[in-house]
Amino acid sequence: MPGRYQDVKETDPLLGAGVESGALYTEVNASGREDDIMAYPKDKFNFVYLSFYFLGLGTLLPWNFFITANDYWMFKLQSNGTNASTSNVTPDPNAEPNSSTPAPAVQLNQLQTLFPSTLSVCAMLPNVIFQFLNTVLQQRIREKVRILGSLVFMILLFVVTEIFVKIDTSSWRELFFSVTMICVVILNCSSAIFQSSVFGISASLPPRYTQAVMAGQGMGGVFASLAMIGALAYSSDPTSSAFAYFMTAIVVLFLTGVCYSSLRNNKFFAHHRSSGRSSSPDHKEDHKLSRHDEGEILCENNDHKLDHPTNEHEDAWVKKESIADQKSIEDPLTGDSVHIIEPNNVPPLWLIFKQIWLDCFLVIFTFFVTLACFPSVTANVRSMTSGYTWNDIYFTPVCCFLLFNFCDWVGRSMAGYIHVPSKNSRAALVICVLSRGAFLALFALCNVQPRNTPVIFTNDIFFIIFMVLFGISNGHLSTLVMQYGPLQVSDPEHASTAGSMLAFSISVGLSLGAGFSFVLRMAI
């Protein structure tokens, strides 16, 4: 009897859009009743989607928390008798509050000046190395070991950071600077393994789960910014606020481990991971099935064909196998030729890279521009006025960190339902990504302090507008490329490796941007 597929749709709680989460194939029997033949497990209550969202939040949490705590680092590295923070600028007592007179230039010692760029390099260089190692060795180290092991290391290093908060380091600032950078290196080695593993897992599921990871990363930045602002409001004492701030990170990382452990027991997740590729109809528009005849599957002989219902909603990733992994053998009883599939556990990295090299470049350039500007340049942009708490304390945490992270999160979330440019508009996507290079000049012409060149944009509104465009474009374009990339591979079996390669490309872009930030900062 003929069969049919029934689409199962659920509503995305974050995007509000209807999404297909499963399909049920039924066959009508002689009595006219439909019997279930096979059912794709559903992502009930979007648990898997929300879990990947939370895992995405945890992937960049160490980086987000360290760069957002700019005032704390400036306090710990201050010379004796100087101001506690670069954003706490003491206004001229003779100046009118909120006057148009530019705020006084900030005097930083050498350690304070070097800290943002050094932090970026120490974070991104080990990140790119360990992203690469994870991409190459992910087949040899168990997924559970990589993810939970990296989380344990991150938690331990945040505990070390917490201990230093309560220790007076004013008499050994240089040593504290060095120890902090060592912690940053080890922390980002662990973060790289965790991030690459999460992207690799999400790439083996429908594209919306990669978007969930990207949106979660954006929310991680927003969360870190809100945590810092809340800590500042909680206590004016830098050590008390920093202690509460870093404790928040430890709690979130612990919950991330709990989230992953719960995810492993989910039927929908286990179904996709056990098959090594997606078997959900969410891919129906992304990969088209190529087969010999309608209603046939690969395992067949010349006299007998196993009927398999053909439907436009069937998932292509279940049926499209790599030709390189197929071979024919002769049935000893009938003499017929039978096709079998042999597993291939070693992904052809070069072949995969040739298929997604453009996507890798776009990811690299996007994050190169981002880290060249943020935070080494943008965190040193000062308000053009002074005299109010807003200008002197909250301008940098809000207009730099919170605004960028919020807009980045908006851009990443938009990519879940606004696919512009589309995956077929490759030229438009390249133009949009390359146009972000203009931000290198735009931020340099804002009121970055200290500086040797004149300020061109003398109103704070210009900096705010630039940050909005900067954040949205970073989140939206990077998420689109991360979604489109795994769809370029000819064999869906390699989607997970493609996802890890793209995650590695993120680290390459961030590392190059971190190195270039020194050059850009010196040019200003």
Q: Within 13 Å, how many C-alpha atoms sit on residue 45's CB side? A: 4
- 140-153: average pLDDT: 92
To the nearest whole number, what is the mean pLDDT of the chain? 79
Q: pLDDT of 331-386, one tens digit each?
A: 555 555 555 544 555 678 899 999 999 999 999 999 999 999 998 899 889 999 88
For residue 251, pLDDT over 90 is answered with yes
Nearest-CA neighbor of 193 among 240, 133, 152, 242? 133
Percentage of the chain exceeding pLDDT 70: 74
- 308-317: average pLDDT: 40
d(CA 462, CA 310): 56
- 51-77: average pLDDT: 92
Q: pLDDT of 155-179, one tens digit each?
A: 999 999 999 999 999 999 999 999 9
- 64-69: average pLDDT: 90
Residue 279 pLDDT level (bands cut at 50, 70, 90)? very low
CB 524 within 8 A of CB 448: yes
Strand ordering across the sheet containing 3-11: 3-11, 18-28, 34-39
- 412-435: average pLDDT: 93
By the 10 Å C-beta count (0-12 exposed, 13-18 middle, 19+ buried), 102 is classed as: middle
CATH superfamily entry for domain 47-84+106-273+346-523: MFS general substrate transporter like domains (1.20.1250.20)
Which pair of tokens denotes residue 400?
């730099």
Report in angstroms the alpha-carbon separations of 171 from 16, 30, 72, 179, 181: 54, 87, 17, 14, 18
CB 436 within 8 A of CB 477: yes
| DSSP type of residue 107 | P
Q: What are the residue ranges spanned by the domains of the chain?
A: 47-84+106-273+346-523
Q: pLDDT of 443-497, one tens digit each?
A: 999 999 888 999 999 999 999 999 999 999 999 999 999 999 998 998 888 888 8
- 113-138: average pLDDT: 86
> Would you state the pLDDT for residue 6?
46
Query: Which of helix, strand or coil describes residue 11?
Result: strand
> Would you state the pLDDT for residue 132?
86
For residue 78, pLDDT over 80 is answered with yes
Which pair of tokens denotes residue 295?
């209603």
What's 123-168 look like in SS3?
Answer: HHHHHHHHHHHHHHHCCCCCHHHHHHHHHHHHHHHHHHHHHHHCCC
CB 297 within 8 A of CB 340: no
d(CA 506, CA 71): 27
Q: What is the residue type of 208?
A: R
Report the relative pairing of strands 337-341 and 326-330 from DSSP bridges.
antiparallel
For residue 84, pLDDT over 70 is answered with no
> Would you state the pLDDT for residue 511?
86
By the 10 Å C-beta count (0-12 exposed, 13-18 middle, 19+ buried), 288 is classed as: exposed
Q: What is the residue type of 177?
A: F
Nearest-CA neighbor of 449 among 381, 391, 392, 373? 381
d(CA 58, CA 152): 12
Nearest-CA neighbor of 380 among 478, 447, 468? 447
Q: Which range has the worst mean pLDDT, 248-252, 278-282, 294-298, 452-456?
A: 294-298
> Would you state the pLDDT for residue 280?
41
Q: Which range has the worst mean pLDDT, 272-286, 350-364, 476-490, 499-513?
A: 272-286
Q: What's the residue count for the chain?
A: 524
Residue 223 pLDDT level (bands cut at 50, 70, 90)? very high
Q: Phi and psi at residue 162, in whole multiples of 5°?
A: -60, -40
- pTM beyond 0.85: no
> Would you state the pLDDT for residue 276?
54
> Would you state the pLDDT for residue 8?
46
| Phi and psi based region of residue 2 (left: phi greater than 0; alpha: psi -120 to 50; beta: remaining) | beta
> Would you state the pLDDT for residue 172?
94
> Would you state the pLDDT for residue 335?
56
d(CA 85, CA 76): 9
Residue 433 pLDDT level (bands cut at 50, 70, 90)? very high
Nearest-CA neighbor of 278 among 504, 66, 495? 495
Q: Which helix (H) or strand (E) holds 72?
A: helix 70-76
d(CA 484, CA 487): 5
| Phi and psi based region of residue 515 (left: phi greater than 0; alpha: psi -120 to 50; beta: remaining) | alpha
The dihedral built from the CA positions of residue 500, 358, 280 and 259, taken in this order, carries a sign that is positive
d(CA 167, CA 180): 13
For residue 113, pLDDT over 60 is answered with yes
For residue 51, pLDDT over 50 is answered with yes
> Would you state the pLDDT for residue 477?
96
> Would you state the pLDDT for residue 289?
35
CB 502 within 8 A of CB 205: no
